[in-house]
Copies of this chain bind each other. A is one copy, B any other.
Protein backbone atom coordinates (compact mmCIF):
# COMPACT_ATOMS: atom_id res chain seq x y z
CA UNK A 1 0.00 0.00 0.00
CA UNK A 2 1.30 3.44 -0.84
CA UNK A 3 1.07 6.13 1.77
CA UNK A 4 -2.25 7.92 1.60
CA UNK A 5 -2.54 11.70 1.86
CA UNK A 6 -4.53 13.26 4.69
CA UNK A 7 -8.09 11.97 4.82
CA UNK A 8 -10.69 14.29 3.28
CA UNK A 9 -12.48 14.41 6.67
CA UNK A 10 -9.37 15.78 8.39
CA UNK A 11 -8.72 18.18 5.55
CA UNK A 12 -12.26 19.48 5.83
CA UNK A 13 -11.79 20.01 9.58
CA UNK A 14 -8.53 21.98 9.49
CA UNK A 15 -8.74 24.72 12.09
CA UNK A 16 -6.11 27.36 12.78
CA UNK A 17 -6.08 28.28 16.47
CA UNK A 18 -5.41 31.77 17.68
CA UNK A 19 -4.85 31.38 21.41
CA UNK A 20 -5.02 35.12 22.00
CA UNK A 21 -8.50 35.61 20.57
CA UNK A 22 -9.89 32.19 21.58
CA UNK A 23 -10.84 31.79 17.94
CA UNK A 24 -10.33 29.09 15.35
CA UNK A 25 -10.30 29.81 11.65
CA UNK A 26 -11.73 27.21 9.28
CA UNK A 27 -13.11 26.87 5.80
CA UNK A 28 -16.01 24.94 4.31
CA UNK A 29 -15.15 21.90 2.16
CA UNK A 30 -16.60 21.08 -1.25
CA UNK A 31 -16.06 17.37 -0.50
CA UNK A 32 -18.58 17.61 2.35
CA UNK A 33 -21.06 19.93 0.63
CA UNK A 34 -24.75 19.27 1.22
CA UNK A 35 -27.66 20.36 -1.01
CA UNK A 36 -27.23 23.84 0.48
CA UNK A 37 -24.18 24.68 2.60
CA UNK A 38 -22.00 22.07 4.33
CA UNK A 39 -23.06 18.66 5.70
CA UNK A 40 -24.36 19.36 9.22
CA UNK A 41 -22.43 16.44 10.70
CA UNK A 42 -19.18 18.07 9.57
CA UNK A 43 -20.18 21.42 11.06
CA UNK A 44 -20.99 19.66 14.34
CA UNK A 45 -17.57 17.95 14.25
CA UNK A 46 -15.89 21.33 13.66
CA UNK A 47 -17.69 22.83 16.68
CA UNK A 48 -16.54 19.91 18.83
CA UNK A 49 -13.01 20.12 17.47
CA UNK A 50 -12.69 23.74 18.58
CA UNK A 51 -13.31 22.70 22.18
CA UNK A 52 -11.17 19.56 21.83
CA UNK A 53 -8.17 21.57 20.60
CA UNK A 54 -8.58 24.47 23.01
CA UNK A 55 -5.65 24.77 25.42
CA UNK A 56 -8.02 24.89 28.43
CA UNK A 57 -9.74 21.62 27.56
CA UNK A 58 -9.92 18.87 30.20
CA UNK A 59 -11.39 15.41 29.76
CA UNK A 60 -13.31 13.84 26.89
CA UNK A 61 -16.69 14.63 25.32
CA UNK A 62 -19.81 13.35 27.10
CA UNK A 63 -22.37 15.40 25.16
CA UNK A 64 -22.56 17.94 22.33
CA UNK A 65 -25.56 20.00 21.22
CA UNK A 66 -25.32 22.03 18.02
CA UNK A 67 -27.91 24.61 16.94
CA UNK A 68 -27.87 25.54 13.26
CA UNK A 69 -28.83 29.20 13.41
CA UNK A 70 -28.46 30.30 9.79
CA UNK A 71 -27.26 29.01 6.42
CA UNK A 72 -23.46 28.65 6.30
CA UNK A 73 -21.94 30.24 3.19
CA UNK A 74 -19.13 28.50 1.29
CA UNK A 75 -15.81 29.94 2.42
CA UNK A 76 -14.13 31.00 5.65
CA UNK A 77 -15.62 30.85 9.11
CA UNK A 78 -14.45 31.43 12.67
CA UNK A 79 -15.33 29.43 15.76
CA UNK A 80 -15.05 30.97 19.19
CA UNK A 81 -14.79 28.42 22.00
CA UNK A 82 -14.94 29.18 25.70
CA UNK A 83 -14.97 27.04 28.80
CA UNK A 84 -17.98 28.38 30.72
CA UNK A 85 -17.27 26.38 33.87
CA UNK A 86 -14.55 23.96 34.89
CA UNK A 87 -15.22 21.61 37.80
CA UNK A 88 -13.27 18.79 39.34
CA UNK A 89 -14.45 16.17 36.88
CA UNK A 90 -16.50 18.05 34.26
CA UNK A 91 -15.97 21.01 31.99
CA UNK A 92 -18.69 22.97 30.19
CA UNK A 93 -18.21 24.69 26.82
CA UNK A 94 -19.99 27.19 24.64
CA UNK A 95 -19.00 27.56 20.99
CA UNK A 96 -20.22 29.96 18.31
CA UNK A 97 -19.44 29.89 14.60
CA UNK A 98 -19.24 33.26 12.85
CA UNK A 99 -19.40 34.44 9.26
CA UNK A 100 -19.46 38.11 8.19
CA UNK A 101 -19.86 39.29 11.79
CA UNK A 102 -22.91 37.16 12.51
CA UNK A 103 -23.46 33.91 14.36
CA UNK A 104 -24.37 31.03 12.05
CA UNK A 105 -24.10 28.12 14.51
CA UNK A 106 -23.93 27.72 18.30
CA UNK A 107 -23.05 24.70 20.40
CA UNK A 108 -22.62 23.55 23.97
CA UNK A 109 -20.56 20.58 25.07
CA UNK A 110 -19.65 18.82 28.28
CA UNK A 111 -16.28 17.15 28.73
CA UNK A 112 -15.51 14.87 31.65
CA UNK A 113 -12.96 12.60 33.23
CA UNK A 114 -14.44 9.13 33.04
CA UNK A 115 -13.77 6.43 35.60
CA UNK A 116 -14.64 2.75 35.56
CA UNK A 117 -18.10 2.13 37.04
CA UNK A 118 -20.90 -0.37 36.93
CA UNK A 119 -22.32 -0.41 33.42
CA UNK A 120 -25.17 -1.76 31.32
CA UNK A 121 -26.87 -1.22 27.98
CA UNK A 122 -30.67 -1.26 28.19
CA UNK A 123 -31.26 -0.58 24.52
CA UNK A 124 -31.31 -3.71 22.39
CA UNK A 125 -28.82 -3.78 19.54
CA UNK A 126 -30.44 -4.06 16.11
CA UNK A 127 -29.95 -7.26 14.16
CA UNK A 128 -28.06 -6.31 11.04
CA UNK A 129 -28.75 -8.31 7.85
CA UNK A 130 -26.00 -10.66 6.63
CA UNK A 131 -23.55 -9.27 4.11
CA UNK A 132 -25.27 -10.83 1.09
CA UNK A 133 -28.56 -9.20 2.09
CA UNK A 134 -27.33 -5.61 2.01
CA UNK A 135 -26.18 -3.42 -0.86
CA UNK A 136 -24.44 -0.08 -1.23
CA UNK A 137 -26.90 2.68 -0.41
CA UNK A 138 -26.21 5.41 -2.93
CA UNK A 139 -27.88 7.45 -5.61
CA UNK A 140 -26.64 10.11 -8.03
CA UNK A 141 -29.12 12.54 -6.50
CA UNK A 142 -27.63 12.22 -3.01
CA UNK A 143 -25.50 15.29 -2.13
CA UNK A 144 -21.66 15.39 -2.44
CA UNK A 145 -20.86 14.61 1.22
CA UNK A 146 -22.47 11.17 0.96
CA UNK A 147 -19.60 10.13 -1.36
CA UNK A 148 -17.27 10.45 1.64
CA UNK A 149 -19.06 7.49 3.28
CA UNK A 150 -19.76 3.85 2.55
CA UNK A 151 -23.34 3.03 3.43
CA UNK A 152 -24.88 -0.44 3.20
CA UNK A 153 -28.54 -1.14 3.74
CA UNK A 154 -31.05 -3.93 3.12
CA UNK A 155 -33.16 -1.44 1.16
CA UNK A 156 -32.05 0.64 -1.80
CA UNK A 157 -32.34 4.40 -2.11
CA UNK A 158 -35.04 4.40 -4.76
CA UNK A 159 -37.30 2.03 -2.89
CA UNK A 160 -36.72 3.78 0.43
CA UNK A 161 -37.65 7.25 -0.72
CA UNK A 162 -40.17 6.43 -3.44
CA UNK A 163 -42.33 3.82 -1.74
CA UNK A 164 -44.48 4.59 1.27
CA UNK A 165 -42.77 3.04 4.32
CA UNK A 166 -44.73 1.61 7.24
CA UNK A 167 -42.30 3.31 9.66
CA UNK A 168 -39.50 5.82 9.37
CA UNK A 169 -36.96 3.50 11.01
CA UNK A 170 -33.96 2.40 8.98
CA UNK A 171 -30.77 0.47 9.69
CA UNK A 172 -27.53 0.93 7.77
CA UNK A 173 -23.81 0.39 8.06
CA UNK A 174 -21.61 3.50 8.03
CA UNK A 175 -17.91 3.83 7.30
CA UNK A 176 -15.68 6.67 6.16
CA UNK A 177 -14.67 6.36 2.50
CA UNK A 178 -11.81 5.55 2.47
CA UNK A 179 -11.84 4.03 5.98
CA UNK A 180 -10.46 6.29 8.74
CA UNK A 181 -9.86 5.41 12.40
CA UNK A 182 -12.95 6.27 14.44
CA UNK A 183 -12.64 9.22 16.85
CA UNK A 184 -15.01 11.67 18.54
CA UNK A 185 -15.08 13.87 15.44
CA UNK A 186 -16.06 11.17 12.97
CA UNK A 187 -18.48 9.57 15.46
CA UNK A 188 -20.20 12.97 15.78
CA UNK A 189 -20.55 13.31 12.02
CA UNK A 190 -21.82 9.72 11.69
CA UNK A 191 -24.71 10.53 14.04
CA UNK A 192 -25.98 12.92 11.35
CA UNK A 193 -25.70 10.78 8.19
CA UNK A 194 -29.31 9.56 8.22
CA UNK A 195 -31.66 10.74 5.48
CA UNK A 196 -34.20 13.11 7.03
CA UNK A 197 -36.97 10.85 8.26
CA UNK A 198 -39.60 12.90 6.48
CA UNK A 199 -38.28 11.70 3.09
CA UNK A 200 -38.54 8.10 4.25
CA UNK A 201 -41.93 8.57 5.85
CA UNK A 202 -43.65 10.54 3.09
CA UNK A 203 -41.85 8.96 0.13
CA UNK A 204 -41.28 12.41 -1.31
CA UNK A 205 -38.77 15.21 -0.97
CA UNK A 206 -39.74 18.41 0.80
CA UNK A 207 -37.45 21.26 1.89
CA UNK A 208 -35.93 20.11 5.19
CA UNK A 209 -32.94 21.02 7.37
CA UNK A 210 -31.69 20.15 10.84
CA UNK A 211 -31.99 23.02 13.33
CA UNK A 212 -30.67 21.27 16.47
CA UNK A 213 -28.57 18.16 16.95
CA UNK A 214 -27.48 16.39 20.14
CA UNK A 215 -24.99 13.57 20.65
CA UNK A 216 -24.42 11.56 23.83
CA UNK A 217 -21.08 9.72 23.72
CA UNK A 218 -20.90 6.29 25.34
CA UNK A 219 -17.23 5.58 24.69
CA UNK A 220 -13.87 7.05 25.55
CA UNK A 221 -10.97 7.64 23.17
CA UNK A 222 -9.38 4.28 24.02
CA UNK A 223 -12.56 2.43 23.01
CA UNK A 224 -12.77 4.41 19.77
CA UNK A 225 -9.09 3.82 18.98
CA UNK A 226 -9.58 0.10 19.52
CA UNK A 227 -12.54 0.17 17.14
CA UNK A 228 -10.26 1.43 14.41
CA UNK A 229 -11.51 1.75 10.85
CA UNK A 230 -14.30 -0.83 11.05
CA UNK A 231 -17.81 0.10 9.97
CA UNK A 232 -20.48 0.96 12.54
CA UNK A 233 -24.23 0.26 12.47
CA UNK A 234 -26.64 3.16 12.53
CA UNK A 235 -30.34 3.04 13.28
CA UNK A 236 -32.65 6.05 13.08
CA UNK A 237 -36.36 6.81 13.33
CA UNK A 238 -38.72 9.77 13.39
CA UNK A 239 -40.84 10.44 16.44
CA UNK A 240 -43.35 13.21 15.78
CA UNK A 241 -43.87 15.44 12.72
CA UNK A 242 -45.81 18.54 13.73
CA UNK A 243 -46.33 21.94 12.13
CA UNK A 244 -42.96 22.51 10.45
CA UNK A 245 -40.71 20.51 12.81
CA UNK A 246 -40.06 16.86 13.52
CA UNK A 247 -37.59 15.04 15.74
CA UNK A 248 -35.59 11.94 14.97
CA UNK A 249 -33.44 9.76 17.21
CA UNK A 250 -30.53 7.54 16.22
CA UNK A 251 -27.99 5.15 17.68
CA UNK A 252 -24.52 4.13 16.55
CA UNK A 253 -23.50 0.54 17.39
CA UNK A 254 -20.48 -1.62 16.74
CA UNK A 255 -21.12 -4.89 14.91
CA UNK A 256 -20.55 -6.71 18.19
CA UNK A 257 -23.31 -4.77 19.94
CA UNK A 258 -21.53 -1.96 21.79
CA UNK A 259 -23.54 1.26 21.82
CA UNK A 260 -21.10 4.06 20.95
CA UNK A 261 -23.47 7.04 20.76
CA UNK A 262 -27.12 8.03 21.00
CA UNK A 263 -28.31 11.08 19.13
CA UNK A 264 -31.41 13.19 18.56
CA UNK A 265 -32.21 16.04 16.24
CA UNK A 266 -35.05 18.38 15.39
CA UNK A 267 -35.56 19.13 11.74
CA UNK A 268 -37.42 21.94 9.97
CA UNK A 269 -39.64 20.94 7.08
CA UNK A 270 -42.04 22.70 4.74
CA UNK A 271 -45.63 21.63 4.02
Interface contact A211-B63, CB-CB below 8 Å:
yes
Which residues from B are CB-within-8-Å of A119? 240-243
B108–A266 CB distance below 8 A? no
State the CA gap A169–B124 with chains docked (Å): 13
- Rounded to whole angstroms, the CA-CA distance of A200 and B124 in the bound complex is 18
Q: Say whether chain A's binding surface is mostly helix, strand, loop, or mixed.
A: strand
Number of copies of this chain that the complex holds: 2
Question: Among the listed B65, B90, B202, B237, which residue makes an inter-chain contact with A65, where contact means beta carbons less than 8 Å apart?
Answer: B65
Contact mask for chain A residues 100-126; partner B; CB cutoff 8 A; 1 contact, 0 none: 001110101010101111111111000
1/0 contact string of A209-237 vs chain B (CB within 8 Å): 00110101011100000000000000001
- Cα distance, A77 to B262, chains bound together (Å): 33
Contacts A120-B241, A121-B239 aside, 9 further interface pairs with beta carbons under 8 A come to: A69-B87, A70-B87, A108-B108, A112-B211, A117-B270, A120-B240, A122-B169, A214-B264, A239-B251
Chain A residues close to B by CB (< 8 Å): 62-63, 65, 67, 69-70, 84-85, 87, 89-90, 92, 94, 96, 102-104, 106, 108, 110, 112, 114-123, 167-169, 197, 201-202, 211-212, 214, 216, 218-220, 237-245, 247, 249, 251, 259, 262, 264, 266, 268-271
